[in-house]
Structure 1
Amino acid sequence: MPRFDRILIVNWSAAGTPCRGANSIWIGSDGDEALNPETRKRAWKLLGCQLSRARNAGQRVLIGVDFAFGHPSGVAAMVTGQAAAMALWDHLAALHQDDDRNASNYRDLAAQMNRQIGRPVFWGNGRKQQIADLPRLKPPAHPDLPEHRATEATITGARPKSPFQLAGAGSVGAQSLTGIPWLARLRDRQDARVWPFQDWQDAPVVLAEVYPSIIGGQLRGASGFDCPDQAQVTVLAQALRRLDDADALLPIFAPDPRITDLMAEGQILGTGHEAALRDAAAQVLT
């Protein structure tokens, strides 16, 4: 029996101005056309509307989002005094500012966290003006903080960048710092639970971290999409739908035993089950 009635996959963006098309926000669905909101605030509103409709229809929803939900073990404790990633979620939700035109203070928050940590770990300032305590280039390694989370090292094939990297090709750190606050608000308003940090099994809405590049090889040559981002979110949503309909989705939610600090670092949905995701994506595209 399927665990979810609807599955949505979100490609996030930390863009500083409204934008659409490639390298912008895409919301893919297992049953509808992908949406391409021009701002983060608009994306949050669209997701909220979809969840409200699903709740009224008695439907259970899985939302996968393509940025890091956690940070390397020790970061949350150094910034908030609490080791769990959810404490850092609340911290960012309280301080992050993001307006109708995508103007965000995430770089200032990264600099502030660097000061709290005692030396820079977040890096990658893409602005022309300097920002104190936010280096443009990668700083020396912190003696007590790993650069990557365990889940990033477990992915076979293409691997995500460190959540400390805020700019540059393939970087995900800025998406996390801008996205976590919006998901925290969605969590609070929609009775959502965050996997694997919270008790999610019976929640009407489950938020999970995904890495669409897991199925990147299957998407080569895919037609009918405006850009790779649209293809990724659409095909991954439909691939997860296939697994759920075949009663094969639940195993990919199992905690990965290679992750020793799961509550701080989190886990990418599908680690250890890459082959199943890729097979399902290939079936979607045939």
Structure 2
Amino acid sequence: MPRLFSAYVIVDWSAASKPTTGADSVWIGVLKRDVRFRLAFESYNPPTRAEAEKKLASLLDDFRKRSERALVGFDFPLGFPRGFAAALKLPGEPPWRAAWDQLDKMAKDKADNTNNRFSVGSEINRRLTGGPFPFWGCPPKDTLTTLQPKRSREHGPDDLPEFRHADLAAKGAASIWKLYYNGSVGGQAILGIPAARRLKLARGEGVKAWPFETGFKPLTEADLAGVEVVLAEVYPSLLKVTPGPGEVKDLAQVRATAEHFAKLDEAGKLGALFGPPKDASADVVLDAEREEGWILGAGA
């Protein structure tokens, strides 16, 4: 079976409020063919999200010039729990795109990493519940009536779900409602989704967001005809990774994740990973395709 991709780009995003490198900053791992067609790994550790976005754009431009298709995996959710767009009364269909457009309007992320992720969470809370729920987590100085440092209550049957189907399948994935502290993917999603949206809009139909635009199904070469880039959500913690001596864990994780997908692709097994787990119900598949997204490899 032919490989689906020529290059594998894994992005460990960060919601940091100032320029930063090393641990807990943005890492971009790239596994691509060298002049002898052997897979070679390179990494980048830009101090700001703006520089990371520029680097990603230049990498994608390079792949396009060489007619190479790339898998780009982001380590934050590309969708919200089912019902989010409807609860916010967001205009437009499908719900995932309505949420992307809304975040793009609300999120302000400056060149020096200064950002308003807590204000965005607070404002969405105000519209959803009028109180500090469902988003939670912030430094004490950013506390507002509609955003508190600690979780104010549990999710009840009438609330939006705490977790997406994919989070439960991945076992251990954090909730998107968590905006601060370790594993706070909420802050990363608020700032990361608009970046993914910009990368996609700049390249038109050549970029597809999985599973929203590809379908939640195993992918074949025919499915990807004309596609230059597939954007996917990844969760590096699904793999056991041991950093090398003096190596930052984030770097080890982006490298191991890129190598993992490349190996599966080489064996003709990566395409199947874009489909749902065997026991996924029709509802779960529909929720993933329309609003929630999925984590590549979760539940497989």
**TM-score (norm. length: structure 1):** 0.89
Partner of 2:234: 210
Counterpart pick for 2:198 among 167, 175, 185: 185
Of residues 87, 108, 114, the one that matches 2:98 is 87
> Does the CA-based 8 Å contact 2:53-2:195 persist in structure 1?
yes
Aligned to 1:284: none
Output the aligned Cα RMSD: 1.6
Contact 1:29 1:238 in 2 (8 A): no
CA contact (8 A) 2:103 2:190 kept: yes
Structure 1 position 34 matched with structure 2 position 55: no
**Superposition pairs of residues 53-68 of structure 1, within 5 angstroms:** 53-68=62-77
Identical counterparts, % of pairs: 35
Question: d(CA) in 2 for partners of 1:93 and 1:5?
Answer: 30
Q: Distance in 2 between matches of 1:149 and 1:225?
A: 35
Where does residue 10 of structure 2 map in the other structure? 9
1:266 aligns with 2:293: yes
Give the number of aligned pairs: 268
Counterpart of 1:177, as a letter, is I
Q: What is the CA–CA distance in structure 1 between the aligned matches of 2:82 and 2:265, rounded to whole Å?
A: 31
Code of the residue aligned with 1:135 in structure 2: it is Q
Letter aligned with residue 173 of structure 1: G
Q: Counterpart in 2 of 1:280?
A: none
Structure 1 residue ranges without an equivalent (≥5): 274-286
C-alpha deviation, 1:127, in angstroms: 4.9
1:246 aligned to 2:246? no
Q: Is the 8 A contact 1:85 1:197 kept in 2?
A: yes
Q: Does 1:163 align with 2:176?
A: yes
Residue 214 (structure 2) aligned to one of 199, 202, 209: 199
Moved over 3 A (4+): none
Q: Aligned partners of 2:143 and 2:76: how far apart in 1?
A: 26
> Is contact 2:140-2:149 (8 Å) kept?
no
Q: 1:181 to 1:127 in 2, by over 3 A?
A: farther
Structure 2: gaps of 5 or more residues: 32-39, 216-222
Query: Cα–Cα, structure 1 residues 243 and 129, in superposed 2: closer, same or farther, change >3 Å?
Result: closer
Secondary structure in 2 aligned to 1:33?
A: strand
Q: Which residue of 2 aligns with 1:281?
A: none
Measured after TM superposition, the shift of residue 94 of structure 1 is 2.1
Distance 1:127 1:10, change over 3 A: farther
Q: Which amino acid aligns with 1:214?
A: L
Whole-Å Cα distance in 2 between the matches of residues 7 and 224 of structure 1?
24
Shift of 1:196: 0.5
Residue 100 of structure 1 and its aligned partner are, at CA, apart by 1.0
Q: Which amino acid aligns with 2:295?
A: I
Q: Secondary structure at the match of 1:34?
A: strand
Q: What are the superposed Cα offsets for residues 26-68 of structure 1, whole Å, 9 maximum, x if unpaired? A: 0012233211011001000000000001111111111001001
Q: Residue 69 of structure 1 aligns to which amino acid in structure 2?
A: L
Contact 2:118 2:142 in 1 (8 A): no
Shift of 1:132: 3.4
DSSP 3-state at the match of 2:149: coil
**C-alpha distance in 2 between matches for 1:39 and 1:127:** 24
Match of 2:166 among 151, 170, 173: 151
